[in-house]
Amino acid sequence: MEPQQYIRLSALNDMIHDTISSRFEGQRFWVLADITNHSFKADKKIHYFELVEKAQNGNAITAKMMGKSWGGGAIRIEEFEKNTGQTFTNNLHVLVQVSVDYHPLYGLSVSVLDIDSNFMLGILEQQRNATLERLVRENEYIQKEGDGYSTYNSRLQLPVVIQRIAVISSSSSAGNEDFRHTMQHNNFGYVFQIDDYYTVVQGDNNAKLFLNKLIEIYNTGIAYDAVVINRGGGSQSDFLIFDNYNIGRAVAKFPIPVITGIGHQKNVSITDLMAHTNTKTPTKAAEFIIAHNRSFELEIFSLQQNIIIKSQKLFHVHYKELSELKNDITRYTKELIQMHGEELTRTNHRIISNAKSVLYEHQKRLILTVHQLAQSPKMLIQQNKNDLVNIKNSIKNTASEYLRHEKLTLDYHQKSIQMMSPNNILRKGYAIVKVNEKIISSAENIEAGQEIEVILKDAKLKSTVKEKIQYDGRETDL
């Protein structure tokens, strides 16, 4: 048997290399595949990985190729990560431009020269839109309204003052530290009670842990005013947890207002859309809460100012009324005193005049008698001496009686004047009734509903006539 012809393995590899180089030299191909077994040598800036294709109806791998990227390709991958916020790592479905290589030691592989960022952004956006559509379709408490969403949580009314807060964040989150610092060192001296519920807040595979924290907050039974979700910056993949369907649904129906400060400047996550209020950063979330409380405080200050102003106006009005009433009482009192003083003066003048008239008449009679005595004889004088004595006594008695009578009359008038005094009448339980500033003694022109003024001994009453009942003056039940 003749020996078989053979060649060295290196010779065979050289032949394969020449064939592949001849066939694929200078050619570029855009390939759609998934990334697996990825590793990155940071010192050399080289990516190593496998490109695989999976069956459309399952996870079975139908094609596989070793891959690498360095130099310009690595730079394009770095640009891809910046543009998409997505780390180049395992389980990514990517569109990459490759060239075909063959190495005698390492075999067949492809080099990634470029990667399409728009393709990845489109996939993420498609996944996000599909999740939003599912949330609206499967949950009646979530409705699409224009470019936004109305949820049970977003329709909750925030408390007028937010004080007790539950915070979901990572225990090592710098963003959460910024949130606490802003809350505790606010310019208005507001005091907050903040309870931390630490968990992992990145990676879609940690959604269950995040949901457990929401459930834990609910099960505490603590009447929190708000729940704040805090997270600092990071890559797009770090934020995928906040596009999770179950987290979005839980936030949308949570019975306590949820405020997000996730710290993603580029996009708004599904959790942001489902929450009551979304802010860009944890610091912004703190500023929102402080501003909310400040708004309530300013409303209280405004109400306080209105109360002070209205109180001052009301006091001024009533003070003016009291001053006018005091002036009226003083004027009416002076008028009454003046009126009764003039009447007493006239009475005194009449008494003096009457007394003079009586004395004058008796004086004339006495003079006549003196003349008669001077012309009569002594006998007549003697005879009339007794008459003179009688007349004298009569004059004396008459004068005394007249003076006594006049004194009694004067006393009577004085007592009558005192009894007629308004103050005396008011002290006896009577009252003076005025209508339109005039004293009245008859109800003839007074009707029900008319305002009257009743003056008692110690007060003035402003009244409205409720009912008018005729009275003939003969009833004795007064």
Q: pLDDT in tens for each of the 478 residues of the chain?
A: 555 788 888 888 888 888 888 888 888 999 888 888 999 998 999 999 999 888 777 678 888 999 999 999 899 989 888 877 678 888 788 888 989 998 888 888 989 999 987 777 677 777 888 888 999 999 999 999 988 899 999 999 999 999 999 999 888 778 889 999 999 999 999 999 999 999 877 655 678 888 999 999 999 999 999 999 988 655 455 567 888 899 999 999 999 999 998 866 556 888 899 999 999 889 999 999 999 999 999 999 999 998 888 888 887 777 777 778 888 888 888 888 888 887 888 888 888 888 888 888 888 888 887 776 666 666 666 676 787 788 888 888 888 888 888 888 888 888 777 777 777 777 777 888 888 888 887 777 788 888 888 888 888 888 888 888 877 666 545 5
> How much of the chain is helix, strand and coil, in % rounded to 5?
50, 20, 30
Q: What are phi and psi of 53, to 5 degrees?
A: -120, 130
Angle, CA of 37, 39 and 45, to the nearest 5°: 150
Supply the pTM of this predicted model.
0.51
Q: Which helix (H) or strand (E) holds 61?
A: strand 61-69
* E strands in 116-255: 142-145, 148-151, 164-169, 193-198, 226-230
Per the CB < 8 A criterion, the answer to whether 16 and 102 are in contact is: yes
* E strands in 74-191: 93-103, 107-115, 142-145, 148-151, 164-169
- Give the SS3 label for residue 346: helix
- Give the SS3 label for residue 34: strand
How far apart are alpha carbons 135 and 243 in whole angstroms?
Answer: 11
The per-residue pLDDT for 83 is: 76
The per-residue pLDDT for 167 is: 94
Per the CB < 8 A criterion, the answer to whether 217 and 227 are in contact is: yes
Q: Which helix (H) or strand (E) holds 17?
A: helix 9-24
CATH of domain 9-115: 2.40.50.140
How far apart are alpha carbons 35 and 420 in whole angstroms?
Answer: 119
Per the CB < 8 A criterion, the answer to whether 455 and 431 are in contact is: yes
Beta-bridge mates of residue 468: none
CATH of domain 141-297: 3.40.50.280
The per-residue pLDDT for 187 is: 92
Q: How many CB atoms lie within 10 A of CB 221?
A: 7
The per-residue pLDDT for 55 is: 78
How far apart are alpha carbons 197 and 178 in whole angstroms?
Answer: 16
Per the CB < 8 A criterion, the answer to whether 168 and 201 are in contact is: yes
Report helix angle 282-375 to 378-420, nearest 10: 170
The per-residue pLDDT for 216 is: 93
Task: Report the Cα–Cα distance between both ends of the chain, in Å, rounded.
Answer: 160
The per-residue pLDDT for 293 is: 93
The per-residue pLDDT for 70 is: 92
How far apart are alpha carbons 286 and 182 in whole angstroms?
Answer: 6
The per-residue pLDDT for 251 is: 94
How far apart are alpha carbons 218 and 221 in whole angstroms?
Answer: 6
